[in-house]
Amino acid sequence: MTIYSDDFYTSYLLSSSLNLLIFLDTKNAEYSAEKALKWPDRLAILIGVAKAVHFLHTGVIPGCFSNQLKTKSVLLDEHCIPKLSDYGMSIIKEDIEKFETKGEKKSKSCQRTKMDNDVYNFGFIMLESLVGPITCDKGETFFLNEKASFGSQDGRRKIVDPIVLTTCSQESLSIAISITTKCISQDSSSLPSFEDVLWNLQYAAQVQATADADQKSD
């Protein structure tokens, strides 16, 4: 979890954010290929963020929802270990008061809506990890315009970050694309739970690790 201290912010400002590293990977030709975030690296970061958000949902009472998730708020240390900054802690007091004063049914309904917001926003973090930086206010438009491209190999080659394409297995990529599109669904009733999101990302990482091991043994 984020620790609000000078030391914390100093150490992470000396490193980077997920948004910046993806930007450097896709836009800066001089950026070292050795430093580029390969697909297994991106999966590991996404899994770390998903675990953190899942903890905020289930590991504290009341749960912390509507966490303002975006790639800029995912800070990475020198080992690319992710931490969340600016994850809505300022509204916890308000949520506690609502939790204490509202009926159980209304409280659960409110929590579900906020949890859906986190799933939806995390979907765009996954999308940027796949295709590169997207202007915040154009994310939905981009996804709606390019959604069909994810369904074919040729389409993926056009929109998926080349670094991802050259460092992923097709099965791992397909799993990640599938859960990403589910998270960004316009139908809130069909959004996956964060447990499902985390499981799929871990499965994609497992499939990728197996593919990498098989490639090394050939």
Kindly state the helix (H) or strand (E) to which residue 196 belongs, with its residue range. Answer: helix 194-217
Q: Specify the higher pLDDT residue, 7 or 208.
A: 208
Backbone angles phi, psi at 74, to 5 degrees: -95, 105
Q: Specify the higher pLDDT residue, 114 or 119.
A: 119
Report the pLDDT value the prediction gives residue 1, as an integer from 0 to 100: 38
Q: Which CATH class is domain 6-28+36-217?
A: mainly alpha
- pLDDT one-digit tens code per residue, 52-109: 888 877 766 555 656 567 777 778 777 778 777 765 544 444 554 454 555 544 444 4
- pLDDT one-digit tens code per residue, 154-170: 999 989 999 999 999 99
Q: How far apart are the first and last CA of the chain?
A: 41
Residues 6+ apart with CB under 8 A from 155: 146, 148, 149
Residue of 55, 9, 65, 36 whose CA lies nearest to 132: 36
Query: Quick check: bond before 62 cis, omega within 30?
Result: yes
Report the pLDDT value the prediction gives residue 164, as an integer from 0 to 100: 94
Least confident of 52-61, 142-151, 204-213: 52-61
Dist CA 186 CA 46 (whole Å): 22
- Band (pLDDT 50/70/90 cuts) for residue 126 is very high
Report the pLDDT value the prediction gives residue 32, as an integer from 0 to 100: 52
Q: Specify the higher pLDDT residue, 92 or 137.
A: 137
Report the pLDDT value the prediction gives residue 113, as an integer from 0 to 100: 57
Q: Specify the higher pLDDT residue, 114 or 215.
A: 215
Report the pLDDT value the prediction gives residue 143, as an integer from 0 to 100: 79
Residues of the chain with pLDDT > 70, as a percent, come to 62
Kindly state the helix (H) or strand (E) to which residue 17 belongs, with its residue range. Answer: strand 16-17
Mean pLDDT (whole number) for 144-149: 81
Q: Which residue has the tokens 């800029």?
A: 72
Residue of 48, 85, 51, 80 whose CA lies nearest to 67: 85
Report the pLDDT value the prediction gives residue 85, as an integer from 0 to 100: 72
Report the pLDDT value the prediction gives residue 116, as an integer from 0 to 100: 72
Q: How far is CA 206 from CA 47, 108, 130, 140, 154, in A?
A: 12, 34, 18, 29, 25
Q: pTM, whole model, 2 decimals? A: 0.75
Least confident of 20-24, 112-116, 139-143, 164-168: 20-24
